[in-house]
Amino acid sequence: MNQRIPGISEIGFGCGGNAGLMTRGTPKHQTETIARALDLGITYFDNAPDYGNGLAEENLGRALKQLGAKPFLTSKVEIRAENLADVAAHVIRSAEASLSRLGVDALDLLQIHNGPVATPPRLEGAAYRTLGLDHYEQAIDALNTLKAQGKIKHTGFVIRGGDATEATNLLATRQFTLINVPYTLLNPTAARGEKGLTIVKDFGGIIDIARDYTTGVAVYSALAGGVLTDAGIAGAPRHPLARAADPRETRAELKRQQAARLSFLARETGTTMAQAAYRFVLSHPGVTTVIGGFSAIDQLEELAAMSGAGPFPPDLMARLREVWQTDFIAA
């Protein structure tokens, strides 16, 4: 059984800019897609001020008000160089601004969008990728203030890779309800015991560690930026609303080849590659929800169908682990 949290569905609705719906879609398209998500039982909506510079929060708030819906709402706080002089004050201001944009009195969950590190690189400009543990302490104080004021109900933070030790220290405080973690068929290192892979980012078995502390896990980037899809493997163009591929990505072709090596998971279960990727993520007992980035209703319906699908048969898992153990090199 997965690490369940009341009110959170196994499939979450992501509002980030990668899929583009909540930042570049029309209001009609946004509202129709959210309505369909609610019909399909999706209750978890993940947002952040950084998504469209507040636009995704405004659009979600408008659509939910129009639909008269009150799902489980998550947003985040990005801490940049200009905020380091008074992190706590910034966290409170950011949370209050998110509440205003979403049109609600309280958030179900507020997360720190920076990954925790012992000694962070110097933050510059709009960067917010990491945050030192000393500044995290100030952020936690502000989160506790917001909870006491009734403006947020739960707290969490985001994992960026290479930060499992620092994340474990935060989990040990038992102040956090849910963390966000990447976990994919191409990089399963957020689970313990998966060896043999050449990886860029090691997530240090953090899903299992979070489970030890009874902390929930929301998985993001389950499709590895879209490569774990039939279209991604074929090299087909992305959806018109989706963000263009990062021109700085030097491993795109390698990832596509690795994804193709895993196509047997979809073929032998009668699913799409994206569905197979979601089924894999949801089979981990420490995962609470997998956050989908949807550009269109058909994508939403495709992935929502994986809720409750259960794990792959043992023979397919054995083949999958063999691929990992050989570092995706064909026999």
Neighbours of 91 (CB within 10 A): 23
Whether the CA torsion 307, 12, 63, 18 is positive or negative: it is: negative
Q: What angle do CA 314, 311, 41 make, to 5 degrees?
A: 170
Q: How many structural domains are present in the chain?
A: 1
Under 8 Å between Cβ of 72 and 43: yes
Phi, psi dihedral angles at 52 (to 5 degrees): 70, 25
331: in domain: no
Distance (Å, whole) CA 331 – CA 322? 10
Inside any domain, residue 268: yes
- Per run of 10 residues, the mean pLDDT along the chain (length 331 residues) is 80 95 98 98 98 98 98 98 97 98 98 94 91 96 98 97 96 96 97 84 96 97 96 94 78 93 98 98 97 97 97 96 90 51
Residue 3 lies in a domain: no
**Residue 58 in domain:** yes
State which residues form the domain around 47.
11-325
302 in any annotated domain: yes
| Per-residue model confidence (pLDDT) at position 244 | 82
Q: Note whether residue 267 is domain-resident.
A: yes
pTM listed for this prediction: 0.96
330 located within any domain? no
- In degrees, to the nearest 5, what angle opens at C-alpha 246 toward C-alphas 244 and 249? 145
CATH number of domain containing 320? 3.20.20.100
Domain assignment present for residue 319? The answer is: yes
Separation between Cα atoms, residue 185 and residue 7, nearest integer Å: 27
